[in-house]
Amino acid sequence: MTAPPTPPTLATLHPPFGLVLRAGDLTLRPLTDADLPKYAELLRRPIFEDPQSPAMFHWYRAEPDTRVRNALSFQWQLRSTFSPEKWTLPLGIWTDGRLIGCQDVSAQRFAERRTVSSGSWLTLDAHGQGYGTLMRQAMLVLAFDHLGAQRAESAAAIGNRPSFGVSHACGYREDGTHMSTLPGPAVLEQRFLVTPETFRRPHAPVEVEGITAQLREMLGA
């Protein structure tokens, strides 16, 4: 009797799920549905020392139950709208098997623009250990060395010193200001820009797995 065919893996069906980055004590990979219960638990924990900080993410200002529901809907939306024209990779951050935050990398019309943008957060108890810089550097290694990006942009609310520190440590240069377009109070933000020439690479080597031809096609890379 012929054995039934082996079902395809999730990474075969959706190539972003096969992407894994390793840098020092950190592992970065796209969140799967199996990760979402831990992700939801993380979203209920503090991220900022000052809950009234103007740098507080607009989505975090919602009540915990609403925050979690909105975040899960957002994760599913990212997958359903993923295309070469517009994509976001929501990379969960793990250390010692613990999920501690998220590092997103996004692009629009990447094939033409060769530009990515990013956002990130860590739970408060993971601050001050160098994780914020290392996970941003790992993301930039992916973008510059493996996808062919020529620019990486970011922004942070004026006064968000930890975020400014991470950007400067990675080689970003200040690139003017703008008013945030996100929901909630209007916030003045500092724009940042880094290129392969100004990028300050991590001391720890960054290993990248899962860059397949199918993934490159999905990313416009």
Q: What is the CATH number of the domain that holds 69?
A: 3.40.630.30
Q: Which residue has the tokens 């740098």?
A: 55
Classify residue 37: in a domain, yes or no: yes
pLDDT tens sequence across 37-59: 999 998 888 776 666 665 556 66
More confident residue, 36 or 8: 36
Please provide residue 69's backbone torsions phi and psi, each rounded to the nearest 5 degrees.
-60, -45
Domain of 40 in residue numbering reads as 26-219
178 or 104, greater pLDDT = 104
d(CA 169, CA 34): 33
Average pLDDT, the chain: 88
CA 75 to the chain's CA centroid = 12
Q: What angle do CA 64, 73, 35 make, to 5 degrees?
A: 80
In-domain check, residue 139: yes
Residue 85 DSSP class: T
- Note whether residue 121 is domain-resident: yes
The predicted structure's pLDDT at residue 51: 61
Q: Between 51 and 173, whose confidence is greater?
A: 173
Instruction: Say if 39 falls within a structural domain.
Output: yes
State the residue for tokens 């992916």. Answer: 142
Tell me if the pTM is above 0.85. yes
Q: Does 112 have pLDDT greater than 70?
A: yes
Report which of residues 185 and 151 the model is more confident about: 151
Stretch (H or E) spanning 42: helix 36-43
Whose CA is closest to 109, among 220, 35, 21, 207? Answer: 220
* Spatial strand order in the sheet of 98-108: 173-179, 188-194, 151-157, 115-122, 98-108, 86-95, 26-30, 20-23, 206-209
- Considering the domain boundaries, does residue 19 fall inside one? no
What's the mean pLDDT in 72-92? 93
